[in-house]
Amino acid sequence: ATPTALLVGTGRGSQLGIIIRGPQALEQTRTVDTIVLDKTGTVTSGVMTVASVSTVGAATERELVGLAAAAELGSEHPVARAVVRFAREQGHAVDPAEQFLAHAGHGVQAVVDGRLVLVGRLGWLDSDWSITAPDDALARSVGAEATGSTVLGVAWDGELRGVITVRDTVKPRSAAAIRRLRELGLRPVLLTGDNAGVAAAVAAEVGIEDIHSAVTPQGKLDVIRALQASGRVVAMVGDGINDSAALAAADLGIAMGTGTDAAIAASDITVVSGDLLVVADAVRLSRRTLATIK
C-alpha cells in the first residue's frame, strides 16, 4: 500500500465527515458482506418522547414522573432523556438522585427521597428484582409494544408503581441508506435491546428483514460472533455503550459520532454526523481507496 493513496482516502474521508482509524480499517470494507445496525440512535433519531404515563395502585402520575425522572437524570440513554425532558415540561425540578447505577440494556436504579427507585424493562424488573407487573399493566404494555412503543416500568419500595411509554422516530434518510448498503452488496441486520414490536415496526419502515430484538449488550456480541462463525464478514454500526463489545468484535466497527465515547473508542470508523447515508459513502470510499492502492 502506498501511504499517499491512504492519505487521499482519509483526507477525502474527513471532508465527508468520516474519521478512519487506520489502514486495516479500510482493508475490511472490501470483503464485508453483512452490516449489522443498532436501532436506537443509529437507524432511529434516538430523540425519544414520552407517549403515555399510567399508574399502578395508589401512586399518582405526578409522583411517578418525578421519581422516574430523578432516577433517570444520571443516564445518557435516549429513554432517560425523554423522561427527564417530560418531567421538566410538567414543571418538575428534577434533582440528582443518590447511589445512581445504570444497567446497560435494562434500566437504572437510584435512591430518591430515601426510596430505591427502578426504571427499566418489565422483564428486567421481574428477573433481577422479582417485581412482577399486574396482569392488566402487562396486557397494556404488550399492546403498546405491538404499536412500536418502548415500555418502561417504574418501581419503588419493591413494587411496580406505573408504566411510562416512549416513542422514537426513524431518521429521514435511513430507508435510502439501507437501499444503498444493499446496492453495495451488504445484507442489513437490525440489532436492538428494545422489544420485538418496536424492532418489527422500525425494520418494516426501513426495509430490513433480519431482526434480533430484546438483545442484551452481551447478546449483541454473540450475534456478531454467530454471523462470523457462519462465514459472514460483518460490519457493525452503533452508538451506545451497549454496542461497544459488538463494535469491537465486528470485522469493521462503525460508530455514530453523535453517540457515546465508548462506541467511538471501540470502532474503526466514525461517521461524525451520525448519518447512515454517510456510512454507505464510507464503505464506497474505502473500497475505491483500496482500488487506487492496488
Give residue number: closest CB to ligand ADP.
193
Tell me if 39 contacts ligand ADP by CB under 6 A. Answer: yes
| 245: its cell numbers | 463489545
DSSP letter at 187? E
Could you say whether residue 153 binds ligand ADP (CB under 6 A)? no
Q: With binding defined as CB under 6 A, does residue 152 bind ligand ADP? A: yes
Residue 105 interacting entry, from Mg ion, ligand ADP, none, C-beta within 5 to 8 Å by type: ligand ADP
Distance CA 247, CA 249 (A): 6
**Of 26 and 202, CB closest to Mg ion:** 202
Residue 232: contacted member of ligand ADP, Mg ion, none (CB under 5 to 8 Å, by partner type): none
Q: Which long-range contacts (CB under 8 A, 24 or more apart) does 120-123 make?
A: 120/152, 120/153, 121/151, 121/152, 121/153, 121/195, 122/151, 122/153, 122/160, 122/163, 123/214
- Whole-Å CA distances, 202 to 5, 40, 169, 213, 234: 39, 10, 8, 11, 21
Q: Can you tell me the distance from the alpha carbon of 87 to that of 23, in angstroms, rounded to the nearest whole number?
A: 47
Q: At closest approach, how far in Å is the CB of 13 from ligand ADP?
A: 26
Question: Judged by CB under 5 A, does residue 257 bind Mg ion?
Answer: no
Binders of ligand ADP in range 168-207 (CB under 6 A): 192-194
Number of residues engaging ligand ADP in binding (CB under 6 A): 23
> From the list Mg ion, ligand ADP, none, which binds 171 (C-beta under 5 to 8 Å, kind-based)?
none
- Give the shortest CB-148-to-Mg ion separation in angstroms: 16
**Does 41 help bind Mg ion (rule: CB under 5 A)?**
yes
Cite the active site residues: 38
> Among residue numbers 67 through 86, which ones bind Mg ion (CB under 5 A)?
none
Interface segment toward ligand ADP; rule CB under 6 A; list 47-55, 69-77, 131-139, 272-280: 69-77
Q: Say if CB 125 and CB 109 are below 8 A apart.
A: no
* DSSP notation for 234-257: EEEEE-SGGGHHHHHHSSEEEEET
Q: What is the torsional sign of CA 177, 180, 184, 187? A: positive
Least separation in angstroms between residue 102's CB and ligand ADP is 6
Confirm or reject binding of residue 257 to ligand ADP (CB under 6 A). Answer: no
Separation of alpha carbons 217 and 106, rounded Å: 9
Q: CA gyration radius for the chain?
A: 20
Q: Binding residue for ligand ADP (CB under 6 A) from 38, 145, 251, 268?
A: 38
Distance of CA 267 to the CA centre of its chain: 15
Among 18, 64, 73, 108, the residue binding ligand ADP under the rule CB under 6 A is: 108
Binding site for Mg ion (CB under 5 A): 38, 40-41, 239-240
